[in-house]
């Protein structure tokens, strides 16, 4: 358990260049209370860095939704951003790239629509 956490922390530091927030997941409500989209995001690992309602390593998804609310290209832009990864929109920390083998286009679209609905 301890060892696993240390390994995960190391991985997160490599990915995000920052300290992980270990309590992020346990602070959320039980997964069964959440919609399918939330569980998909959880399974994909998004909540290692994002949390609804709070800026973690990445911006809170409510803040993302707020920023792109009136942007007609938001869906295409965010799908591209998640596929390519990169930094600069919120901070100098990198959003990791999720290629097709990590996240299918269909699931990516579901997540982006979910984020924009928050
Ligand atoms: C290793 C940490 C990490 C993980 C895992 C992660 N993100 Fe991010 N995410 C970030 C960071 C850091 C940013 C801010 C990037 C920037 O400033 O351009 C970000 C930004 C975003 C944005 C806003 C992009 C923009 O240009 O405004 C969206 C949407 C997003 N992430 C969705 C996701 C989704 C969906 C997943 C899971 C499939 C995910 N993230 C997993 C760190 C992460």
Confidence (pTM)? 0.78
pLDDT, one tens digit per residue, over 19-35 is: 444 444 544 556 668 89
Looking at the structure of the chain, the number of domains it has is 1
pLDDT, one tens digit per residue, over 96-113 is: 999 999 999 999 999 999
Q: How close is the Cα of 58 to the center of ligand 1, in Å?
A: 5
Q: Which of 22, 24, 58 to mutate to test the pocket of ligand 1 (most atoms within 8 A of CB)?
A: 58
- Residue 32: alpha-carbon gap to chain centroid: 19
On whether residue 3 sits in a domain, the answer given is no
Q: What is the DSSP string of 32-68?
A: GGS-HHHHHHHHHTGGGT-BTTB-SSSPPHHHHHHHT
> What range does the domain containing 28 cover?
23-116
On whether residue 8 sits in a domain, the answer given is no
On whether residue 9 sits in a domain, the answer given is no
Q: What is the CATH number of the domain that holds 71?
A: 1.10.760.10
């Amino acid at each position: 358990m301890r060892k696993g956490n240390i390994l995960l922390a190391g991985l997160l530091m490599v990915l995000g260049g920052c300290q992980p927030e270990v309590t992020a997941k346990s602070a959320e409500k039980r997964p069964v209370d959440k919609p399918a989209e939330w569980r998909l995001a959880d399974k994909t690992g998004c909540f290692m860095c994002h949390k609804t309602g709070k800026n973690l390593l990445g911006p809170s998804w409510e803040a993302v939704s707020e920023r792109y609310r009136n942007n007609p290209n938001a869906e295409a832009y965010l799908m591209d951003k998640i596929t390519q990864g990169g930094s600069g929109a919120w901070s100098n920390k990198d959003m990791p790239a999720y290629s097709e083998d990590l996240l299918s286009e269909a699931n990516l679209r579901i997540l982006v629509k979910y984020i924009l609905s928050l």
